[in-house]
Amino acid sequence: MTPKPVLLKILDYLSIVLLAVATYLALVYAPTEAVMGDVQRVFYFHIGTAWVGLLGFVFAAGLGIAYLVTKDMKWDIVEVAAVEISVVFFFITIVLGSVWARPAWNTWWTWDPRLTTAAVTELIYVAYFMLRAGIDDPERRARFGAVYALLGGLSAPLTFMAIRLFRSIHPVVIGAANENQDKMNMTGDMRVAFFFALFTFTVIFIDMFWNRIRLGQLQDKVEQLKLKVM
């Protein structure tokens, strides 16, 4: 049993500290947005979680390829770790987006391309876990998981493009969605909070990713020991 690496411990604490600072920056330090008011503060974490969520899914597709090429179970462990963390972060993104949409667009949910793609992507990865749950042989589970992660990773950008085709049908909502672009006129303080949030969530992602990979390896070891006893 290998002890937890020191660097990982440091990363754990660093994540907590960063998260606290990022929260402070988003909720207190950044100035209140003129049009939206305080609810705009959700945006810093919304983008932060969305960024790492996407990062994980792109990773997963790449790791799927790595597994299919090498057939090495270590890639499978890493792939599951990436998808698992991203599913959670993406869920947070969607919830935060919804919180923001309520006052901004006057509805909890709109069929905006970004939102819808996020929801579909989330469903793809929920399906990913259902597929894995239905297969007992770990090696086959890894292969099918890799194939599906790859398919999911490829179809997500196409989904985004396909949904954008429907812009003309929902003009009102899409007009409102363009407020995202307006956001880019951030003041200096806002920018600090924004980039700090991005940085924070990247660190948290790395930390959780690492922890989750370690957990996967420990699970493996437990399985191995169990088999030895039997």
List of residues contacting other proteins (CB under 8 A): 68, 73, 120-121, 123-124, 127, 130-131, 133-140, 142-144, 146-148, 150-152, 154-155, 158-159, 161-163, 165-166, 168, 220, 223-224, 227
**Integer Cα distance of 67 and 86 in angstroms:** 19
**Integer Cα distance of 190 and 178 in angstroms:** 19
Of 13, 3, 58, which is closest to residue 207 (Cα–Cα)?
13
Q: Which is nearer to other proteins, 141 or 183 (CB)?
A: 141
**Integer Cα distance of 195 and 185 in angstroms:** 14
Shortest approach of other proteins to residue 1 CB, angstroms? 17
Shortest approach of other proteins to residue 122 CB, angstroms? 9
Identity (one letter) of the amino acid at 121? T
Shortest approach of other proteins to residue 147 CB, angstroms? 5
Shortest approach of other proteins to residue 181 CB, angstroms? 21
In DSSP terms, which residues pair with 37 in a beta bridge? Answer: 33
Go through the chain and tell me how many residues it has: 230
SS3 71: coil
Q: Which is nearer to other proteins, 102 or 140 (CB)?
A: 140
Shortest approach of other proteins to residue 78 CB, angstroms? 16
Shortest approach of other proteins to residue 156 CB, angstroms? 9
Residue by residue, DSSP assigns 194-229 as HHHHHHHHHHHHHHHHHHHHHHHHHHHHHHHHHHHH
CA-CA distances (angstroms) from residue 26 to 13, 165, 198? 20, 34, 11
